[in-house]
Amino acid sequence: MNLFIWVLAGGLLGWATFAWLGFSEGRGKIASIVIGAMGGAIGGKMIAPMLTAPPLVAGAFSMSALMVAMVVASTLLVVANMVNKRWDI
């Protein structure tokens, strides 16, 4: 369930950066959503366990892991936007 929440948060972040901030308009909305979702999954599954304390109950929802997932998704979206501007990919 946590993985679904991380992917959903990253996908929503990707959609928001495309719709409101205008990131990577040349790449498209679907690509931004996919990049955000991948960033959320990577952040929540791989990076959050290294940076945050585990929840009290194993497998329980952790707000700190969600925040790390959103930060990683945002970072991945910014890097993808910079790559898109620089090399038009």
The residue extents of the domains of the chain are: 2-87
Residues 89, 87: Cα–Cα separation, whole Å: 6
Res. 60 pLDDT band, cuts 50 70 90: confident
Beta-carbon contacts of residue 8 (< 8 Å; ≥ 6 apart): 37, 40
* Closest of 36, 73, 66, 35 to residue 51, by C-alpha: 66
Question: What mean pLDDT do residues 29-53 have?
Answer: 94
* pLDDT tens sequence across 8-37: 999 999 999 999 888 777 788 999 999 999
Residue with the bigger pLDDT between 59 and 48: it is: 48
Whether the Cβ atoms of residue 63 and residue 84 lie closer than 8 Å to each other: no
Whether the Cβ atoms of residue 73 and residue 48 lie closer than 8 Å to each other: no
